[in-house]
Amino acid sequence: MAERLDRVDSLIRPRTVAVIGASSQRRTLGNAVLENFDRWPFDGTLYVVHPNAPRIGSRETVASIAELPRRLDAAVVCLPARAAAKTLRELEAIDCRSAVVVAAGFVPDDEARFRAVLNEVSVAVCGPNNMGTINVTDAIALYTARFRDPLPQGSVALIAQSGSAAIALINNPGLGFSRIITSGNEWSITSADYLRWLADDAATDTVGLVLESIQNPMQFSRAARELVRAGKRLVVLKVGRSPAGAAAAQAHSGALLSTDDAYAAFFRRECIPVARDYDELLATLQCFSTPGIPHPSGHRLAVIAISGGEGALACDVATEMGVPLAAFSSDTRSVLENALPGARAENPIDFGASVGREDAAQERATRAVLGDGGVDLAIVLQDAQASLPIHDAHDYVHYLDILRQADEGADKPVLVASTTSTHTHPRLEQTLSGSSMPLLRGIREAVAAAENLAVAGDAHRRVAALTAEPHPPQTPPSIDRSLFPAERGPLADTGVQTLLRAYGLPMVQRVLVRDVDEAREAARRIGFPLVVKVLSRHIAHRSDIGGVVVGVRDEESLLRAVRDIAGRVARTRPGGVADFASVIEGFEIQPQIEDAIEAIVGFKAEPGFGGTVTVGLGGVLVELYGKPVIELAPVTVEEAAGMIGRTPLGRILAGYRNLVPPTSPGPLAAVVAALSRLGHDLSGDVHEVDLNPVLVRHGSGEALLVDALVIAGGS
């Protein structure tokens, strides 16, 4: 690891650099790199490689990579994709430590050759398909495009897999940068490697990351924790969401879940703040990088406004985003009533509603809000648009001066938010300069930044308390891998039952029968009422084709149910009656559980993450109930109980409107945890699992599986 970080250092802080691919006849990406070296004079040694031209501009060239000095720190390779593999081998021959490979558009053969070479060489590669790096702190640009000059220097490092994202972000006011890295496809150096390097970078205290994918979630998790442990803050914008995985799903769980759900669950588990767009990312980075801004102790937000409408809008936005609003204590309300007569002493507090308010009263009211034990952080709304006719004696300037005084000694973050996302007024920026209060653009952006600041606080507390992996490995049950088919598809009933027993998942009493005579005998043993289901590994969702009959209360209705199911399956399956024997393996007879609520518990494998587990209201209409709660597998029983509590199912079990008597979620939580462990252990063989419905008995909460679908096998 130390050697890899040393090579990342050679990329970001090189002392010897070679540019490969500049031209003496036309302007290429290589020429753009050289122009950036002209703009930012390099106090190291720069080489230009060209096989024919003795000079490019004012610089002499060397004819080949072989003529470069050994142990070169970094090479910027601006050649077509077809030349990438050969060039990388030549750089390895001179022991070059790192390279920026900007080529895009790899055809499959070129990609295969390049990836094969990456596995053989020690050169650390940034890219391919990127724009390079800008070390703002040390004024070194291995970058293939022009950038704003001066580029504001500060403490924010930006890692972006998308070069256009970097362009969009670095051309906004309010931020100063330390390092800018466009990481591209990350076939060699990954975001996790950059995060580890930045954890030790004295010039950086905040990292923004624009991600399309994570190569290795476990390595990323450890790198993010290392960054947080170093006292730094991280925020991620994940792009490239796609519903394609859900479209190909065979189980309800697969249709309900997407790869983006796995990312969201991963970021939630790791307490990594997330932005939804560039504006939220910029606001969060500005907030995070404000010197002296403290970590909040929680998420409860107070809103201070000079307009009742603007305060109400901010609370609307916070509620839509799931950000909890603080409730003021009686002591705080008393201070507000005395200091601001006429104002409603509630959150949001409207300073504009109090006529004839005095400076001392405003400061006293502000201190009361910030000192309330139920408030974790505050947003102060302030019209701050650059076009406002503001002067030194303007009320807005005056109130921000009062706010600075009230904030002195406070240990809670205060974010000042302009009410729109346009540029802010320089005079108001100057008033807050040097304080720990950022002036952000836009209400929604400020609320997102506030919530992300709270999540960053969670991350620091989590890392401080984390002494081991949150889910240490457990020895899985021994499973015969011959159970799993070579091709992906529903697992046979015998295999499903084997997995359920191995992981202690409680299946309802069931008898498998082949014909009506065996069905009569099963009914005598179980007793009415019954449920009758078709048994066939070829039918994923039995209810969809009429393969389930409930409410079977006597022998006559039992025989009718068997005949009706057989007829419907024969009509529905391709091949009709001629294919009947190969489609129907038999029938499943179960007791009908009538004093229970239906839940769904599911699993979906996700490459790299292991998989996601979900729980929510179940039954045949599960897709209409909205998304259930989703987390990365595995989860503990305690975590599963927390998941259930966040669903409508959890509220129903708690006795909501007396729909059911108060019912323990514990047995269902045990089912969720057990399935999450099954999926995690077998994610290479098991792709989707539906336990739908799981019947949860009223009162006791006893959880019984009445149906289980396992999609297994090769891809």
Alpha carbon dihedral 249, 252, 257, 262, in 10-degree steps, equals -90
The pLDDT of residue 354 is above 70: no
Q: Which two tokens stand for residue 66?
A: 């072989």
* Mean pLDDT calculated for residue range 45-73: 96
pLDDT number for residue 245: 44
The pLDDT of residue 541 is above 90: no
pLDDT number for residue 256: 54
The pLDDT of residue 637 is above 60: yes
CA-CA distance, 299 to 664, in Å (whole number)? 29
* Mean pLDDT calculated for residue range 303-323: 95
pLDDT number for residue 581: 54
- Provide the angle, in degrees to the nearest 10, between the axes of the packed helices 637-645 and 666-681: 120
pLDDT number for residue 578: 47
How confident is the model over 3-29, as pLDDT tens digits? 889 999 999 999 999 999 999 888 999
Q: What pTM was computed for the model?
A: 0.88
Of 3.30.160.110, 3.30.590.20, 3.40.50.300, 3.30.1490.20, the CATH number of 510-591 is 3.30.1490.20
* Mean pLDDT calculated for residue range 569-581: 58
Classify domain 147-287 at the CATH class level: alpha beta
Q: Which residue has the higher pLDDT, 87 or 406?
A: 87
How confident is the model over 214-231, as pLDDT tens digits? 989 999 999 999 999 999
The pLDDT of residue 605 is above 50: yes
Q: What is the CA radius of gyration of the chain?
A: 31
The whole-chain average pLDDT of the chain stands at 90
Give the start-to-end residue ranges of the domains of the chain: 1-131, 147-287, 301-465, 510-591, 596-712
Q: Which residues contact 581 (CB under 8 A, 6 or more apart)?
A: none
* Mean pLDDT calculated for residue range 391-405: 89
pLDDT number for residue 569: 82
pLDDT number for residue 468: 66
How confident is the model over 357-377, as pLDDT tens digits? 678 888 999 999 999 999 999
pLDDT number for residue 623: 61
Pairing of strands 124-126, 132-135: unpaired
* Mean pLDDT calculated for residue range 78-90: 97
Looking at residue 3, the DSSP 8-state letter turns out to be H
* Mean pLDDT calculated for residue range 603-619: 90
Which of the four pLDDT bands, split at 50, 70 and 90, describes residue 577?
A: very low
How confident is the model over 240-276, as pLDDT tens digits? 755 544 444 444 444 455 678 889 999 999 999 999 9
Evaluate whether 1-131 and 301-465 have a shared fold. Answer: yes
**Residue 529 preceded by cis peptide, ω within 30:** yes
445 conformational bin, left if phi > 0, alpha if psi -120 to 50, beta if neither = alpha
Task: Rank 410-414, 456-460, 520-524, 649-653 by mean pLDDT and report only the highest.
Answer: 456-460
As a whole-number percent, the residues of the chain with pLDDT over 70 amount to: 93
The pLDDT of residue 715 is above 80: no
Q: Residue 41: how many CB atoms within 10 A of its CB?
A: 8
Per the DSSP assignment, residues forming a β-bridge with 440 are 417
Q: Residue 333: how many CB atoms within 10 A of its CB?
A: 18
The pLDDT of residue 692 is above 70: yes
Which of the four pLDDT bands, split at 50, 70 and 90, describes residue 420?
A: very high
Q: What is the 3-state secondary structure (H, E, C) of 235-294?
A: EEEECCCCCHHHHCCCCHHHHHCCHHHHHHHHHHHCCCCEECCHHHHHHHHHHHCCCCCC
The pLDDT of residue 123 is above 70: yes
pLDDT number for residue 358: 76
pLDDT number for residue 621: 62
How confident is the model over 495-504, as pLDDT tens digits? 999 999 999 9
Q: Residue 605: how many CB atoms within 10 A of its CB?
A: 23
Residue type at 316? D
CA-CA distance, 676 to 679, in Å (whole number)? 5
pLDDT number for residue 355: 54
Q: Which residues contact 394 (CB under 8 A, 6 or more apart)?
A: 427
- The CATH number that domain 596-712 falls under is 3.30.470.20
The CATH topology of domain 301-465 is Rossmann fold (3.40.50)
The pLDDT of residue 622 is above 70: no
Domain 1-131 is found in CATH 3.40.50.720: yes
